[in-house]
Structure 1
Amino acid sequence: MNLFVINSGSSSIKYQLFHMPAEKVVCSGLVERIGLEDAVITHKVYKDDQQEVIPLTLPIPDHGIGLAEVVKLLTDDKIGVIQNPQEIQVVGHRVVHGGESFAQTAIITEATKAEIKKLFPLAPLHNPSNFLGIEVAEQIFPKATQIAVFDTAFHQTMPAKAFRYAIPEEFYTKLGIRAYGFHGTSHKYVADRAIAYLSKKDTNLITIHLGNGCSMSAVKNGICVDTSMGLGPMNGLIMGTRSGDIDQSVIFYLVNQLGYDLKEVNTILNKKSGMLGLTGFSDMRDITKAIELGDMHAQLAYDMYAYRIKKYMGAYAAVLNGLDAIVFTAGVGENDKKIRELICREMEYLGITIDVARNNSSDKDMREINTAEARVKVLVIPTNEELEIARQCFDLVSNPQPI
């Protein structure tokens, strides 16, 4: 089966073509700067353990044109991997917010699309772009089964005591205001791999997704019981440009005392805060370079970043009533050895100690970095959200649910 995975952003499209069930990646790519004259497509073809990279710069006015250009590459006489779009049997779409409507992966129908549109107010930066990707793909791959995989679905197993806010009841019952959580596809992928690695029937995991966006989940026996993000993706950990947890009084002070309007405050907390607000940099690589040069602001931000994660680790260990492993994943989690060391420092009470040599290894595969005698495994597991989406889509079409 040819299964095409699409992750559509406001000005970008990430994609991968899989042969299933072998889970073989045939090609992948990224369309960037959609809407501009100098848009960029980076297309990669994998054949005989070799990778060929095809970079293109061209005007791409909209997502439809962008995906049409991708199809040209997929069907090109020299580098193509299919002969025509009809060979794509399934298209899997990442959709950020599924609300309470979608606790599972879903085949896209008109009713599904209507529900996704209803959720636009809960994810105004993401769901409209995801929806646009669906509509464009329906035109280009009209015979394919279109499937939505929701970032929030993995967290729908949380109990009410974890996802409810202590605000008047009608805000939840009438408006659906609650914690939903995000990065669920990533958390599920690494949790499943960790459980398989541990070979234990009963497992208590803390999964830590650290990229430009950051989140954590408490996972018991493969089921999410709590997560750090909330109604939207701003809550919880300190992130690249997002503040994470903040006293609500700060918002009222900015508006009522300093004269900011709510749109400005939203921009500050979403796009100008986090590591960017503290250091001037949103990329952890730039921050670590600044630390090496003696920048005290960068060092403080680094310490704050790790401290917030440690607080959540303690809370989730309590929620789980025990801990078998913690899992680091995503760009920072997989590659920043110093932040992993700082997070795990002085955590012996929870049974967490890391082996410096293991932690410093440049190995990019799944690996253990804890000491041999540690009670709790510390794992680094590269995430693969596109593969998780492909697996969920393939499982759905192979084992259709009764209506």
Structure 2
Amino acid sequence: MSPTRVLVLNSGSSSVKYQLLDMRDRSRLAVGLVERIGEESGRLKHTPLAGGGEPRETGGAVPDHEAALKAVAGELKRDGLGLDSPDLAAIGHRVVHGGMSFTEPTVIDDAVLAEIERLVPVAPLHNPANLTGIRTAMSLRPDLPQVAVFDTAFHTTMPESAARYAIDVRTADEHRIRRYGFHGTSHAYVSRATAKLLGRDPREVNVIVLHLGNGASASAVRGGRCVETSMGLTPLEGLVMGTRSGDLDPAVIFHLMRVAGMSADDIDVLLNKKSGLIGLCGDNDMREIRRRVDAGDEQAALAFDIYIHRLRKYIGAYYAVLGRVDAVAFTAGVGENAAPVREAALAGLEELGLAVDPELNAVRADGPRLISPAGARVAVAVVPTDEELEIATQTYALVSGESRHTSAE
């Protein structure tokens, strides 16, 4: 029998998240996380899910990604799921930025590695770490297909009118300045899962997807294809996020340089790490912000209102872009768990057919569910995202020679 397992790796600058899945039934065999790579206090958390094994945690120095992946391989081997298993079909890698070069999952070779490296200037925080994970995995299993699944790929269907910034064309083209979008595997998965929840073909459904986590993005999906998304050249543009500002007048940057004497690096840190919710009220955990709001904290209330105002503005804009909206889907940590955010985001939009049922909205559940009133013109859904399953499914479809399909179909 052909191998059916896929190992999904998400390599960050100081961490590696991983999941091992069996694509016969899309079940998870093991999940884990290596964090604090490069520090003396590294930690590996591993949970075997096949056979009901107990979670394990080990500590100690993890000097680099090679050591991290070797430790992961060791933990998997303890469970009889080692990287040398003949049941392993491929390793799927999350790669944040694929530019315009990669619109589909891609088997990695030297040319692919070179192109991912060429894109480092537009993804300096993410692509280098992704490359390190890929190269390490390739050194451990050089005979095994390695597949890159790109965060930006789902958004490459945006028309030029949505993807282009209104700046000098020659300058933009020379420096690859355009709107790429991110969280693409999540938007792809959730838009199709929403169509499935409605019992309809994704090609017939228009969906606004709201991926609301510490990073947050919105997308307008027409018939299964992205036509607009909120993040741009980098993940900084768009919605108010946990630590990122989202949309900002570019002249603020010049003003801070001239008046505050801040450097480009200073402003980069300000906008990416010290802005958004944490900049507005000192907290980037929506649970704590809501606790403070309920306790009468005015600063937290203002931060929440700014967050909701931006979110509602994007919902309205994407409604106009799509013309017809069949569903709005909330996903990711905040979108899936913060009922007050969902209620506030759609409050006052009843004339557009958008509303939540308070009782349905308050219910906590694991699977996809509708929270709109019965008979609503536009469905409102909570759809848990599953980026790892989406990566595994795209990877397996590519290496097994199947026609491409998605995990939500």
| Pairwise TM-score range, normalised by the shorter structure | over 0.9
Conserved 8 A contact 1:34-1:60: yes
Which of 72, 75, 79 pairs up with 2:74? 72
Aligned-partner Cα distance in 2 for 1:377–1:400: 32
| Residue identity opposite 1:35 in structure 2 | G
**Which residue matches 1:132?**
132
Aligned-partner Cα distance in 1 for 2:119–2:399: 25
Deviation at 1:84, TM superposition (A): 3.2
Q: Which has the larger displacement, 65-74 or 39-48?
A: 39-48
**Which residue matches 1:238?**
240
Deviation at 1:398, TM superposition (A): 2.2
Conserved 8 A contact 1:218-1:316: yes
**Which residue matches 1:226?**
228
The residue matched to 1:195 in structure 2 has which SS?
Answer: helix
Deviation at 1:90, TM superposition (A): 0.2
**Which residue matches 2:186?**
186
Give the direction of change, closer, same or farther, for the CA distance of 1:85–1:60 in structure 2 (3 Å limit). Answer: farther
**Which residue matches 1:166?**
166
Aligned-partner Cα distance in 1 for 2:288–2:141: 41
Per-residue CA deviations over 1:332-377 (Å, capped at 9, x if unaligned) read 0001111111111111011011111100001121100001132110
TM norm structure 1: 0.96
Matched, 1:13 2:24: no
**Which residue matches 1:295?**
297
**Which residue matches 1:345?**
347
Conserved 8 A contact 2:8-2:388: yes
**Which residue matches 2:27?**
24
Per-residue CA deviations over 1:95-129 (Å, capped at 9, x if unaligned) read 00000110111000000000000000000000000
Alignment length, in residue pairs? Answer: 398
Deviation at 1:327, TM superposition (A): 0.3
The residue matched to 1:21 in structure 2 has which SS?
Answer: coil
**Which residue matches 2:39?**
36
Per-residue CA deviations over 1:128-182 (Å, capped at 9, x if unaligned) read 0000000000011222100000000000000000000000011232221100000
**Which residue matches 2:331?**
329
Conserved 8 A contact 1:105-1:393: yes
The residue matched to 1:6 in structure 2 has which SS?
Answer: strand
Structural mapping, 1:73-152, within 5 Å: 73-76=75-78, 79-82=79-82, 84=84, 87-152=87-152
The residue matched to 1:298 in structure 2 has which SS?
Answer: helix
**Which residue matches 2:364?**
362
| Residue identity opposite 1:251 in structure 2 | I
Conserved 8 A contact 1:85-1:141: no
Report runs of 4+ in structure 1 exceeding 3 Å deviation.
82-87
Conserved 8 A contact 2:208-2:329: yes
**Which residue matches 2:406?**
none
Aligned-partner Cα distance in 2 for 1:323–1:218: 9
**Which residue matches 1:216?**
218
Aligned-partner Cα distance in 1 for 2:388–2:374: 33
TM norm structure 2: 0.95
Identity %: 47
The residue matched to 1:362 in structure 2 has which SS?
Answer: coil
| Residue identity opposite 1:186 in structure 2 | S
Conserved 8 A contact 1:88-1:141: no
Q: Which has the larger displacement, 110-119 or 345-354?
A: 345-354
- Indicate the RMSD between aligned Cα atoms, in angstroms: 1.3
Per-residue CA deviations over 1:300-325 (Å, capped at 9, x if unaligned) read 11111111111011111111011100
